[in-house]
Every structure is written in structure tokens, then in C-alpha cells.
A and B are shown apart, each in its own frame.
Chain A
Amino acid sequence: MTLQQLIIQLLSGISVGMVIFLIAVGLSLIFGTLRILNLAHGSLYMLGAFLCFWLSSTLSHLSGAFWWTLILAPLAVALFGGLLEAFLLRRIYTREMLDQFLFTFALILIIGDLCKLAWGVEYHMVSTPWPLNGPITIMGMGFPLYNVFLIGCGPLVFVGLWTFIHYTGLGRIIRAVTYNRDMANALGVNVPLVYTAVFMLGCWLAGLGGALVAPMSAVMLGMDMVVLIDCFIIVVIGGLGSMPGAFLGSLILGLVNAFGILVAPRLAIAFGFILMIIVLVIRPWGLMGKPE
């Protein structure tokens, strides 16, 4: 195991982590503000990936089709999420956790089967878009340029979200609703609208994650479950409701997974769960969360 291979493995882990960050941060935001754990988040990610595949094959006659897809697919998922929130999710905000869990689980089943209905059970592939296909050499070894792009996307989105939440008016309203919903309501904030907006933002992030991951791995049914478990691990480690926590958690999980595969390939899957258990036992609100 040379230094170069180690660095490549590290970068590989981080790039995967950054994609899952996009989905995990959406999950965290939704939990932080709406106080529900949206299990269907993985399915929205899968929907984003399928839409990316569909749009890029439909629009393949346009140059730069992928970039158009990158704009349109997350918007479509956000719109879908908005309708979901307004018509369905609104009814369960006051219900207890089991009901919310099963409700969002039912959405997993429904969205999954809708994808199956629309696009069948085969794997689909999306080709890497033009300026980013091909490898670059890092320290003498090849590394996909697209993965470097993904590593860049993570912090970019994080900085964008942070600026939005902490330096804009709408962000301040969202923070107010997160902190104390009833007070914000009493001060005239349209709380249901804010809830819808935050949910749509979360869905947009999940759709973006799905669209970004499509060129890197196969688009297929079942990708929602895999990413969902990773998201849970990340938001537990980082802290439910905390954006920096989600970023930190994704980095940690990406690195742990990448090195786990090198050190003990058979047990690598378990490392994430072990980390999750350790955090939950020692510091349940996560590394950067606040105790309730």
C-alpha cells in the first residue's frame, strides 16, 4: 500500500462522502425544522438519479445535456416534494413518531414502485459529461476528474447553504421557525409555507445528489435503501439538525468506509454502524448537535 494508493483511496472516500453529504444535509435540515425523520429521502435521491438518466437521454441532442439535467432534475424532485408535503406530510406533523415513521416508509414503497413502473428494473447508465470525463493524474496515479468535481461540490453546496441560512432574510425566518415554531407563528410568519419551503429545499438537495451520482454509478432500484442507511449514520454522528455536523459526518463516514475496505474488507460495512452506536451511547445528540 503505497502513499499514492492511500491518497487515491482517501480522495475516493471523500468524493463518495460528499455526495452522501448532499442527501444527509437535506435530511438533517428537514429534521431540524420540521422535526420529522423523512425516511423517503433516499427515494427522492433515487428519483433524482432516474430523472437525470431520463432527461439526459431525452435531451441528448442538446450540447451540454447533462448540465441542463443538473438544473432540471433537482427542481423536478423539489416540486414533487412540495406536492408531497402540502398534500400528505402536513397531516402527520402532530402525530407520534411511529405514525410518521410508517408514513414516510409507505412513501419509500410508493416512490420506489413508481420508479419501477416508469423505468423498469434494469440498470441504467449515464455517461460522464464532456469537460469532466477522463482521468487526471495525482502523484502518478489516475483518478477520475468527475470525482474531483464531486469533492468540490460538497463544500460549495455547504457554503451556499450556510450563507443562505445565516445571511439572508429567508434564512433568518427558517432559523426562527426551527428555534421556536409557535413564537414565529405568533410574529406573523407563515409557518406552513416555511415548512413546505424547507422540505422542498431538502428534496432539491436530494435530487441534486441523485443527479450528481448518476454518471458515477449505475442508476437502479434499491439505491435508495443503501444511501438511506448511510444518511442515518451521518446525521447521527454529526447531529440531527446541524449542517456542519452533516458535513463532518460525511467526511468521517467517507474516510471510515474508504479505509475500512483497505483494512478489513468484510467488516467494512459494520464500521459505520459501530461508529453510530458509539456516538449514540456517548453523545446521542451527535458531535455538533445540541442536547434537547
Chain B
Amino acid sequence: MIAPGKTLRDRKELLLAQPFWRLVSHFGMRLFSGTGDSGEGGLGLSVSAILAMLAAPGAFIAILLFDKYSSLLRWLRGNQAFDPYAASLPDQYFFLTFSMVITGIVTVLKWDSIFPDRRDYMNLAPLPIATRRIFLANITAIVLIALAFAIDVNCVSSILFPLEVTMEQPRFFFYVQFAGAHFVGVMLASLFIFLALFALIGTLMVLLPDSAFRRISIYLRIFIVMLLLGLLTSTFAVPQLLRTLGSDPHSILRWLPPVWFLGLLRSLVGKADAALAQLGRLGWQAVIGVGVLAPAAYIASYYRYFIRIPETIDTTLRNRAPRTVLPIAWMDQLVLHSPFEQATYRFTIKTLLRSERHSLLFGAFAGLGLVLAFETLASAFSAASAPGDPPNVELLSAPFVLAYFVICGLRFVFDIPAELRANWVHQAILHHEQREPAALAGKVILTFILPWVVVCLPLYVRAWGWSIGAGHVAVLTAACSLLAKLLLHRFHKIPFTCTYPTWKQSATVMILLYVLGFWGFAFLLPGLERSLIMRTPLFLWILSALLLLAGVVLRRFLAVEVVDTSLIFEEKSPSPFEILNLSGR
């Protein structure tokens, strides 16, 4: 019993003095903290920072929508015939999808922390706590955090967006009704995706042997992230297509969960047509279905997995001969020139493929690239063209889109440390003035680009003939090489071995540069390509030669300004003061 007059802090301490709530708090903390032994698993963000980051996009978009719904602005634009309820449909679809995608991605990122692991077992099992209490505490923590995330992601938009839509309504009731429906809709959408992923993890853990589950887990997570990102990109197209929903009983839109919740939400405000209302009922059923399936799968997997942890520790010694698809001996002779490059190349590729954090992050980048590349291809094929026409810009830009995300994704994950405490081996063996890390990182990047570019070559040649197909591949390869060189400027570290860079200071500028770079690389360059093809395909070879030349010039030019080329293992933030030494002494 908590006495009146206690402060919130006292109440919290009293609650946490109880073993059950202490456990709940512990499981909650795990979700936000790194799981590595050195505590490097997390990005070092506080809970409040994570919550603020998740809440920001929804709030920002809700604010931007004032422009659309403001009666004053509409009056100034002369747009009088405006039905805010009808106009809110695409925005509702966006908020629902956004809510699902954020919840889904957070769940996928924290996939491993959802279930108690070996560390929990070794710490908790010897203590006098019943297994079912550990289970209940874990599920309580998960449910509370899932609710907190869902509320956090949707809270600002649930207040602002309904305010914008109902600002011209005569009664406050309309606001309450719309806001209530919006909140219920987005919360249920979040809950659905969370429970669905939870059920999926639990079911796979029950059905698959532990080693098989671990093997497929990473690929599955990347695939789910790709699906979610694909869902997010659908927000531009789906609302326009919803008009056809009633007339097409087999529409693919009926399979999209955000459409079910849009139906549910619109039904709650009484603005759904028959087709949407029917899908709204499906939304309710889906939530109930995963609501039943998720706890059942969780209980089964918990008892199958957690209880057996000590046995799996003793029996999971895997001793499999290594398999490699890379012709490594051939590469050692032709591409990797020094012992440093040979050793570090192997280390980088293996870390990238085996470290879950790195492969997941890279997979997310590549997945987003793949989704956008497919969308670009889809729009390319939907555009009318006659046989013999030169390829349109979209068709040319699809591989550039994918390559941009692959290269930027790799450059991003190179900065994420793997196991800093293991760096002593590099520091003990390597020479401080090692000058090859950027070249090595460039070769790793090209390993992930060249194979699929080469595979695409016969397709291009078949579709457009030798001169255009091979020219396009040459431009793509040269552009990728140039982009990699640009991104690896001042790269003086072995990938994954340096502390986190100080992103905070230049994050906004960097994001802007990356967006501009994307536009230039993925759209401007293919546009230029097309105009050159229209004149003569030979120009493609000149363009690729120019791009390669630019790379060489850039390397020479940038090498002049780089004074210190020592290998670094710790990123230091730039000093706020700098001595200019104008006297030259």
C-alpha cells in the first residue's frame, strides 16, 4: 500500500523494490540497451531520446498537413469546395501505415531482446524465482513497452491531425469522434503488426530447431524490413487506387493490412463505403486472431526455448567447414595486393555477413534500395514506349537507385563498431601509418556491386543491344566507383573497428547531402545518359571515362589536403577551438 503524499520517485522505488516489478523493469531495460558483453549493442541513446525520435516524424507530418486543411490558406488559394473528411483518406492511410512500419521496424530490431536469452538464464535461473514469474514479467514488459511505443508514435498526430480535419465542424463532438477513431485505428494497427511479428517469432521458434531458427532469423528480419519499407512507399499510390476497391472483389489492395485498418477507422467515423467497411471488419478479426496466436506461440516457444538454454549451451558447438562464394585465392593474386588488404578484406566481409547488427542494418539499406528500384522499374514499364525506342530514364535509373543505397549502406555500417575490445589484435600487428584502408573499403563496396552489375549485363545487351547495354553498365560501374571514392574520403580506419563517429554535429548537413546525392546519382545521371543515348551510344563510353577520370583527379586533389593518414581506432570530436598559426612559426 502506497501512503498518500509520496512523490512519484518514492512510488517508483517502492514498486521496484518488489521482485516482480523489478524483473519487469529489467526486461524493459534490456530492450533499450545493448546485448553485447561490452555494452556496444545499443547506439547509446537514452529512452527519452528514442521516444522523441519515434514521435517526431508523426508530429512533423501532422504539422505539415496544416497547409492542406487550413481554411484560410484554402480561401487564399480560392479552393472553396473542400470536403475535409474525403480529403483525409490518404492522410489516414499514411498515418496507419507509418504507425505499422515504425512499430514493425522497432520490433524487428529488438527481435533478439524480446525473449529472455542465455545471459538472462545464467543470471536469473539460479535465483529463487519461479520460471512462470520470469515469463510473466517478460511478457508484461513487452506489452507495456509495445503500448508505450504505439502511444508515443501516434500521440501527437492523434491530437493535431483530427484538429486540422475537424476545425470547421460546428461542434467539439466531431473532433472527439474523429480523434477517438484515429487513435483507436492507429493503435490497433500498431498492435496488429507487433503481435503478428511476435507470433511469427514464437511460431518459428517452436517449429524450427534452434540452429535453423538462428540461421534464417537474420534473412527473415531483412525481408520483413523490406516489406515494411515497401508498405511505406505504397502510401503514395494506394489511396488513389482505393476508388476501384468496390468494383474489384479480387483487388490486391484487400491484402494490405493498412487498408483493413483504414476501413476500421473510417467505419468508426461513419465515413466508410461498403468495401472499406467490410475490410474494417477484417481488421478487427485480424487483431483478435494475432491476439490469440501471439500469446500461444510465446508460451510454447518460451517453454521450449528458455527452459532448454543450459542444454543448448552444452550442445551448440558448431564445427562446419567454411563455405565461400568468393574466389578468394584469385582475388588475393589480382585484387588484394598487400597482406593488410588480404587479411582485412576477409575480416570485413565476414563481420558484415555474420554480425547480426551489421547485416541487419546493411540489409535495411539494401532492402530500401531494392524496393525503390522495383518501384522505379514498375513506373518504367507502365510508361508507354514503342519497340526500338531508347530506354527511358526510369529504366536506366533503377540500378543506380539500388547501387546508391548499397554503397551508402555499406559506408554507414563501416562506422558501426563490432567488438571494440577485440581491436587490440589490429593495433598490436598493424603499422600505425597504414595507408590502404580507404582502398580496401572501396574493394569491399565493389564486391557488393560488381557481381549483380555483371549479371545484369546480358539482360541489357539482349534488351538494348551491345552499344547501349555495355555502355550503360560501364557508366554504372564508373559512377559507383566515383561515389565510393567520394564517400571514403578521409576514411582512415578498418571497417567496424573504430568508435562511433560524432554524427550529431553534422547530421542535418549530411542528410541533406545524401538526399541531394541520391537525386544526382539516381536521376540526374541516368537523365544525362538518356540524352547521350539519343545522340549516339558511343557517348556513354566517354561519360564513363570521364567519371573514372574524375575519380583519379579527385583522389589526387583530396590527397593533398589530408595531412594525417594514421590508422584510427577512436573517433575524436573536432575541437571547438582551432589555432590558425598565422605567423607560420
A binds B: no
| A-binding residues in B (CB < 8 A) | none
| B-binding residues in A (CB < 8 A) | none
